[in-house]
């Protein structure tokens, strides 16, 4: 370059050439430096990205190892615990803070208390309803029984065991009419006696014999008298001789057929003749008259 300046004849052109060359060199130097700076920056960025990727990979590996260890611990725990422990672990609730657990416990207790009170109210209401219904049905039944007793409607036992219309109630005392003599008696109802028995004031047997057995089959006239001294005669035939055992002795009695009427029920039955002058009732109603048509209830008032 120095040699070129010495040989040059035109100093201005030479100066311009030199200036231009210097500028080109400066530009090239600046461009080179800029390229180097950019390259280093890109390299640093790439290095940082690679480092970040490596750290993420390391974290994932650490997480995988931790998860694997947890799975191993959980699996080993499940394998080691028995059925009862596994059931207990499944049944254990998720841990909650003490304040939350206490609050939920109070709410559950209040809810249970409200439910119990509601159930009790419902039960009391149901019991009251049933009691009222039972009381109403009892009143209706009592009224029906009272109506039946007062009207004399008969009752009978049906297939289901309930009393239906066909049998009549009798008290301990009943009014009974002997049809032929037309004498009305206050009779004692005795379910323990098999046969009916009546007081005979007089017995007149046709062609009587000393032996009672020989008088069986003969005609007889009999006078009946009630406690009001009302009496009447009847004619009948002595059908048989009956042995009656009492509490202190045994005796034979004549048995005759009589037609007795009580509560619109008319029956012809066997009645034994007896001296009942010392007894309160001249007629005793036994089972042979009551059977199939009457029900005895001692709580019913005796007829006047």
- Asked whether residue 119 falls in the same domain as residue 168, the answer is no
> 14 or 157: whose pLDDT is higher?
14
Reduce the DSSP state of residue 169 to 3 states and report it: strand
Region of poorest pLDDT, from 83-97, 211-225, 263-277, 288-302: 83-97
Q: Which of 117, 151, 185 is the last residue of a domain?
A: 151
- Asked whether residue 229 falls in the same domain as residue 117, the answer is no
Using alpha carbons, select from 167, 186, 173, 189 the residue that is nearest to residue 265. 167
Sign of the torsion angle spanned by Cα atoms 271, 274, 280, 282: positive
Distance CA 172, CA 281 (A): 12
Q: Summarize pLDDT for 105-148 with one digit per residue, the tens.
A: 666 777 777 777 777 777 767 766 765 665 565 555 555 544 54
Q: What is the CATH number of the domain that holds 182?
A: 2.40.70.10
Distance CA 268, CA 206 (A): 23
- Asked whether residue 143 falls in the same domain as residue 193, the answer is no
- Asked whether residue 167 falls in the same domain as residue 203, the answer is yes
> 163 or 226: whose pLDDT is higher?
226
pLDDT of 189 higher than 80: yes
Q: Summarize pLDDT for 52-61 with one digit per residue, the tens.
A: 555 555 555 5
Count of structural domains within the chain = 2
- Asked whether residue 172 falls in the same domain as residue 285, the answer is yes
In contact, 238 and 220? CB cutoff 8 Å: yes
For the chain, how far is it from start to end, CA to CA, in angstroms?
174
Reduce the DSSP state of residue 58 to 3 states and report it: helix
Q: What is the pLDDT of residue 229?
A: 93
CB contact set of 267 (below 8 Å; sequence gap of 6+) = 259, 260, 289, 293
- Asked whether residue 288 falls in the same domain as residue 174, the answer is yes
Whole-model pTM: value is 0.47
Q: What is the pLDDT of residue 254?
A: 96
Domain of 122, in residue numbers: 108-151
Could you list the beta-strand ranges (E) of the chain. Answer: 156-157, 163-164, 168-170, 173-178, 183-189, 196-205, 219-225, 231-237, 240-245, 250-262, 265-274, 283-285, 294-296
CB contact set of 178 (below 8 Å; sequence gap of 6+) = 185, 198, 224, 232, 234, 258, 259, 260
């Amino acid at each position: 370059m120095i040699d070129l300046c010495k040989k040059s004849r035109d100093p201005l052109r030479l100066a311009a050439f030199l200036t231009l060359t210097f500028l080109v060199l400066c530009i090239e130097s600046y461009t080179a430096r800029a390229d180097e700076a950019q390259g280093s920056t890109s390299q640093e960025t790439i290095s940082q990205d690679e480092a970040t990727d490596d750290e993420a990979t390391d974290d994932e590996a650490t997480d995988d190892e931790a998860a694997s260890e947890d799975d191993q611990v959980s699996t080993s725990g499940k394998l080691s615990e028995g059925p009862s422990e596994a059931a207990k672990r499944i049944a254990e609730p998720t841990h909650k803070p003490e304040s939350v657990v206490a609050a939920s416990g109070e709410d559950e207790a209040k809810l249970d208390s409200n439910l119990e009170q509601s159930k009790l109210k419902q039960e009391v209401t149901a019991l009251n309803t049933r009691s009222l219904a039972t009381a109403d049905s009892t009143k209706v039944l009592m009224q029906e029984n009272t109506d039946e007793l007062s009207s004399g409607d008969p009752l009978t036992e049906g297939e289901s065991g309930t009393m239906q219309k066909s049998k009549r109630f009798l008290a301990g005392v009943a009014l009974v009419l002997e049809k032929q003599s037309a004498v009305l008696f206050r009779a004692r109802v005795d379910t323990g006696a098999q046969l009916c028995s009546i007081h005979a004031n007089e017995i007149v047997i046709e062609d009587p014999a000393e032996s009672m057995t020989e008088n069986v089959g003969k005609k007889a006239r009999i006078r009946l008298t009630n406690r009001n001294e009302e009496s009447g005669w009847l004619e009948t035939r002595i059908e048989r001789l009956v042995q009656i055992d009492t509490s202190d002795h045994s005796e034979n009695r004549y048995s005759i057929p009589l037609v007795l009427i009580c509560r619109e029920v008319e029956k012809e039955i066997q009645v034994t003749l007896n001296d009942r002058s010392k007894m309160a009732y001249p007629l005793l109603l036994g089972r042979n008259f009551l059977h199939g048509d009457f029900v005895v209830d001692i709580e019913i008032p005796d007829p006047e």
